[in-house]
Structure 1
Amino acid sequence: MTATVAIIGRPNVGKSTLFNRLVGKRLALVDDTPGVTRDRRSGDARLGDLRFRIVDTAGLEEAEASSLEGRMRAQTEEAIREADACLFLIDARAGLMPLDEHFANLLRRNSTPVILCANKAEGKAGDVGLYDAFTLGFGDPIALSAEHGEGLSELYDMLRPIVDEAEELEASQEFTEARTDVDVEDEEIDEPVGTRERPLRMAIVGRPNAGKSTLINQMLGEERLLTGPEAGITRDSISVEWEWQDHHVKVFDTAGIRKKARVQEKLEKLSVADALRAVKFAEVVVVTLDATISFEKQDLQIIDLCAREGRAIVIAVNKWDLIEDREDAWGHIKDSQERYLNQLRGVEIVTMSGINGQGLDKLMQAVFRAYEMWNKRIGTSSLNRWLEGVLIHHPPPAVSGRRVRLRFMTQPKTRPPHFVVFSSKPDNLPESYTRYLVNGIRERFDIKGTPVRLSYRKGENPYHKKRN
């Protein structure tokens, strides 16, 4: 197995900055506000020729176990137990704090090896804190600057034996568990979606407190993500690997998306931007609604956003266990679907409960059906036979007494299905006729619950150069 290294420390010592430095991307949110990180975030780190798994954690704080800070601390303690080594960060400029000493004692009670790093040690301002770090008893501290990349060579020397030991263990396991029934000639090079090498990318989005993190914890069967009654707990978009009925899925938990006018704080703006990036990266988006207040205006805006991004969409009506009159509630949901989701006709809506797992299998079946629909391709001959029938029964409106000709139709792209119509005057076609064609394509070729894109191109006149 690949070595797992957890970054540990009190709030605002630069853990997320070091995480971003090691993975080579700005994955974790970074801000001057203490306590930005709340959930564990993992990534593939590179340091020279070393490859290992790095885990960013919430800042350790003393708090009641039932409080939000206490639940954050529990997540961090779990990361310590699962890691092969811990990078214990202190702030060299601020010096050694009582909270640092308190959590040094916590690390001593675990058998996980500890590498002490004095971050923000650039310049002479960090010398005092660097010398103070010797008193913690974890050996010589590494003078580090995550922001400027200083001290990474010393970190490399400390991590080298830990990573090598993990790689040797992995090699021995692969040798003892080697497969002997592999047919080399029949092995597929291109893995279908849902395999370990090619997991389906699925993002869970919705308004704050819709039960997104609770749903993912139910999928995983463990308290992997921070949850609670407070709205807006999730800040980073966290990705986790999950296997459902032999299908591998990469699930993205995202921050709740509120109305744009209400998003004022810088940190919430960063969280929402991170959620939108997760939508763009995903293949299927599960829009989570609260069954007690479903199809609010913000829910519809989130669905419209996902449709404009061209993602396959499934709507999960969560907290269904709280509904008493389910027949009436389902009637309201279907009525709202007919009224508000004309651009996504046939989108699947699944009622479920993230807290007890009700409807989870139905949700995943709908997700894989949506993915297949998202990749649907229609033959050119079938499209043009359909187009001929449309032009007979409902030709495009004339412009200045002259007909607009639709000559040819094809589908150049999928993900989502994208159709192109060659026309004599594409700029003169009204939007209403485009909607008519899109709805006709959906109905004729049974394309449900995924965006359909239709564009026009002007065909060249073959007699243009023969004039005169």
Structure 2
Amino acid sequence: MLPSRTMSRTKQTRGPVAPLFTLEGGRLPIIALIGRPNVGKSTLFNRILGTRAAIVDDVPGVTRDRNYADSTYRNRRFRLVDTGGLDPTASEGMLSLIRQQSQLAIAEADILVLVLDARSGLTPADEEVVQTLRGSDKPVYYVINKIDTPKADPLVADFYRLGQEQLYPLSAEHGIGVAELLDDLFSHMAEPLDEEATSDTPRIAIVGRPNVGKSTLVNSVLGEARVVVSNVPGTTRDPVDSVATFKDRQYVLTDTAGIRRRGRVERGIEGYSVARSLRAIGRSDIAVLLLDAEEGVTEQDTKIAGLVLKQGRACILIVNKWDLKTDDVHAREAYKQDLERRFPFLAWAPVLFISALEQDFLRGLFALIDQVYFSFCKRVPTGPLNQFFQGLLEEHPLPVRKGKPAKASKSAFMTQVATRPPAFALFVGHPDNMTPAYLRFLENQIRKEYHFSGTPIRLMTRKK
């Protein structure tokens, strides 16, 4: 429960409640948190969601991309957007790119929540942001953050120069006053669904080393500047979810921070970013591992691939910047051989050669995603699976201990026990006899027979 307190000095009688938002296509109303850098937008974002979804640090400019999350309040639904600091004067460099992202969030939002810093007072930069918003016909809620104690209440007085009757003093860090803000936002939230449909939307994490083109790939797929792109490694910090639609089907793409070698990861913001990238892999169905055509496959690429395999995710290998290799007729075959040498444990992962700056790869990419996702979720009925298994045993009996008759194969039994990823239980008389080589052979035969592409397969031996 969010803590609250009565603030009679600043809270005025509320005006008429706006009608419930009705949006086309049943989409969720978008509530965007905007404001200068370091005023507490990400802290408020985390407080409303009840989780540490965004990285928070005292250094301005930590949030760079638009960070989306769906949430509910009193059983009504909405989509919350955290934005980077809005600096109206920024015209170049990273601050300019962040400002562009904030402006995009303002343009697509239905409700704006302007976060101001009580400790800094009303600054000229704040007034410029407010002036920018005056031309918008969207509802704007003015939040005065960092009112942590009753002694800080007088700090709100300076913000009445904005001419707004309704201000929302609160402490995002401690949760004080957040419930009052949500109460007034409640009328803009969507009605609950009668029945929550089970989602069959594939979740795809775009992973790789820094500066291999992950954000460029996401922007190219979406057809917009959804995430900040820069030649500076480490531009992306928070994992950023985006919904893409291709041929009337939706996909959730997650742009993640580049994962460097452990010894080179700095503590603090970068450490949090890498940890969140690893969690993003875990909550996805498919990891798209982006590789650099010019640099080739590196040791760090193999370690990232190992992390994907360890978390049991399906995988697609994409070699980016291939437009730089088009003049070399032997480059593709040489690169494939390098992949086979470096990634023997991902021999089942399909490979796509692209340039993320162009969009002609989209058809091939989504065809692979659909194919791999189908394999990741596939379930083989027990009857046909055992018919196949018994036929296989006739030609390739189970391994037996020295001097023992090969009767064990006749009583062996197999069933699929899980999907996402597919997992099979093999019931035999002597599980200790099963060699790694035979299990690899069995996995390859299952892949070949049932067309499992792009997904790991887990085999577990059990005593019958």
Structure number with greater CO (CA < 8 Å, separation at least 6) is 2
Match of 1:130 among 123, 148, 156: 156
The answer (yes or no) to whether the contact 1:201–1:282 under 8 Å persists in 2 is yes
Per the TM alignment, residue 37 of structure 1 is displaced from its structure 2 partner at its CA by: 0.8
Are 1:102 and 2:135 matched, yes or no?
A: no
Conservation of the 8 A alpha-carbon contact between 1:115 and 1:138: no
The aligned residue for residue 18 of structure 1 is 44
Structure-1 residue corresponding to 2:174: 148
Which runs of no fewer than 5 residues in structure 2 stay unpaired? 1-22
**Equivalent residue number for residue 119 of structure 1:** 145
Instruction: Decide which moves more: 232-241 or 259-268.
Output: 259-268
Equivalent residue number for residue 368 of structure 1:
370
Residue 452 (structure 2) pairs with residue 426 (structure 1): no
Equivalent-residue separation in structure 2 for 1:50 and 1:330 (angstroms) = 52
Structure 1, unmatched stretches of 5+, are 168-188, 460-468
Q: CA deviation at 1:429?
A: 3.2
**Does the aligned pair in 2 maintain the 1:352–1:360 contact within 8 Å?**
no
TM-score, structure 2 as length reference: 0.85
Cα displacement (A) at 1:139: 3.0
SS at match of 2:185: helix
Judged with a 3 Å threshold, the aligned counterparts in structure 2 of structure 1 residues 63 and 190 are, in CA distance, closer, same or farther, namely: closer
Q: Percent identity?
A: 41
Among 294, 302, 305, which residue is 1:303 paired with?
Answer: 305
Q: What pairs up with 1:62-461 in 2 under 5 angstroms?
A: 64-160=90-186, 163=188, 198-388=200-390, 390-399=392-401, 401-402=403-404, 405-406=408-409, 407-459=412-464
Deviates more, 1:431-440 or 1:312-321: 431-440
Instruction: Write the letter of the residue equivalent to 2:453.
Output: K
Deviation at 1:398, TM superposition (A): 4.4
- 1:34 paired to 2:60: yes
Q: Once structures 1 and 2 are overlaid, which stretch shifts more, 2-11 or 114-123?
A: 2-11
SS at match of 1:42: strand
Q: CA deviation at 1:291?
A: 1.5
Secondary structure of the 1:327 match is: coil
User: 2: CA distance between counterparts of 1:456 and 1:395?
Assistant: 15
The DSSP-based 3-state class of the residue aligned with 2:461 is strand
After superposition, the C-alpha distances for 1:369-411 in whole angstroms (9 at most, x for unaligned) are 1112223333434444444455455445544654684522222
Structure 1 window deviating more from structure 2 (221-230 vs 58-67): it is: 58-67
Separation of aligned partners in 1, 2:209 and 2:319: 12
Shift of 1:144: 0.5
Normalised by the size of structure 1, how large is the TM-score?
Answer: 0.84
What does residue 43 of structure 1 align with?
69
Aligned-partner SS, 2:287: strand
Q: Matches of 1:6 and 1:351 in 2, distance apart?
A: 37
Residues in 2 aligned to 1:153 and 1:345: alpha-carbon distance in whole angstroms: 52
Quick one: which amino acid aligns to residue 347 of structure 1? A
How many angstroms apart in 1 are the aligned matches of 2:419 and 2:139? 49
**Counterpart residue type for residue 261 of structure 1:** G
One-letter amino acid of the counterpart of residue 352, structure 2: V
Deviations 1:46-94 (A, max 9, x none): 3445533221110123554331110101111222233233211122234
- CA 1:66–1:93 in structure 2 vs 1: closer, same or farther (change >3 Å)? closer
Amino acid of the residue matched to residue 311 of structure 2? E
Does the Cα contact within 8 Å between 2:63 and 2:85 map onto a contact in 1? yes
In structure 2, distance between residues paired with 1:206 and 1:34: 26
Does the 8 A contact of 1:116 with 1:139 survive in 2?
no
Corresponding residue to 2:81 among 52, 55, 64: 55
Q: Cα distance 1:352–1:137, how it changes in 2: closer, same or farther (>3 A)?
A: same
Sort the Cα spacing of 1:334 and 1:121 in 2 relative to 1 into closer, same or farther, 3 A.
same
Q: 1:130 to 1:361 in 2, by over 3 A?
A: same
Q: Which amino acid aligns with 1:148?
A: H
Instruction: Give the 3-state SS of the residue equivalent to 1:293 in structure 2.
Output: coil
The alpha carbon displacement at 1:326 in A equals: 4.1
Instruction: Determine the C-alpha separation between the residues in 2 that align with 1:137 and 1:190.
Output: 43
Taking a change above 3 Å as real, the CA distance of residues 116 and 427 of structure 1, as seen in their structure-2 partners, is: same
Deviation per CA, 1:167-200, whole angstroms, max 9, x where unpaired?
Answer: 8xxxxxxxxxxxxxxxxxxxxx9979xxxx6322
- In structure 2, what is the Cα distance between the partners aligned to 1:438 and 1:158? 57
CA distance in 2, matches of 1:278, 1:208: 16
- Counterparts of 1:50 and 1:18, CA distance in 2: 19
Alpha-carbon displacement from aligned partner over 1:82-140 (angstroms, at most 9, x marks no partner) = 32332111222343334323323333344433221111102145234312222233334
Whole-angstrom CA distance in 1 between matches of 2:98 and 2:389: 58
Equivalent residue letter for 1:149: G
Aligned AA for 2:273? S
Larger deviation: 371-380 or 276-285?
A: 371-380
Aligned pair count reads 432
**CA distance in structure 1 between the partners assigned to 2:71 and 2:400 by the alignment:** 61
Q: Taking structure 1 as reference, are residues 401 and 41 closer, same or farther at Cα in structure 2, changes over 3 Å only?
A: same
> In 2 relative to 1, CA 395–190 (structure 1 residues): closer, same or farther, beyond 3 Å?
farther
Cα contact 1:80–1:112 (8 A) shared by 2: no
